[in-house]
Amino acid sequence: MFLEILDYSHVPGHAVLHRGRHRHGARATVSGRRVNLLLWCRSSVFRELRKYQKDFSSWCGECQREKIERQQNSIAATKEELLKREGKPAP
């Protein structure tokens, strides 16, 4: 399991945007006040643009898990292809 914690110091007048499918939460307000504005936006065009998504695996546990899984699958496929070329059965 990957632990993903991002502490962010809010700046008045700035917004925080995130993909809703990622886990998120808020800590208790210890001074001042907080106002939340939630917008749920759906866009099939945006979902189709996923191939242009940048790599967030340095801080996103789910992105890191997906990246490792892709790497492992690529290594396994390469290994299998090399074994085929050598005439050895794949494990």
pLDDT value at position 73?
Answer: 95
Is residue 19 assigned to a domain?
no
Structural domain that includes position 69? 60-91
Task: Kindly tell me if the per-residue pLDDT of 24 is higher than 60.
Answer: yes
Number of H-type helices and E-type strands within the chain: 2, 0
Residue 6 lies in a domain: no
- How far apart are the C-alpha atoms of 43 and 49, rounded to whole Å? 10
**Whole-angstrom distance, CA of residue 6 vs CA of residue 4:** 7
**Total structural domains in the chain?**
1
Please tell me which residue, 35 or 90, carries the higher pLDDT value. 35
Tell whether pTM > 0.75: no
Q: Is residue 30 part of a domain?
A: no
Residue 28 lies in a domain: no
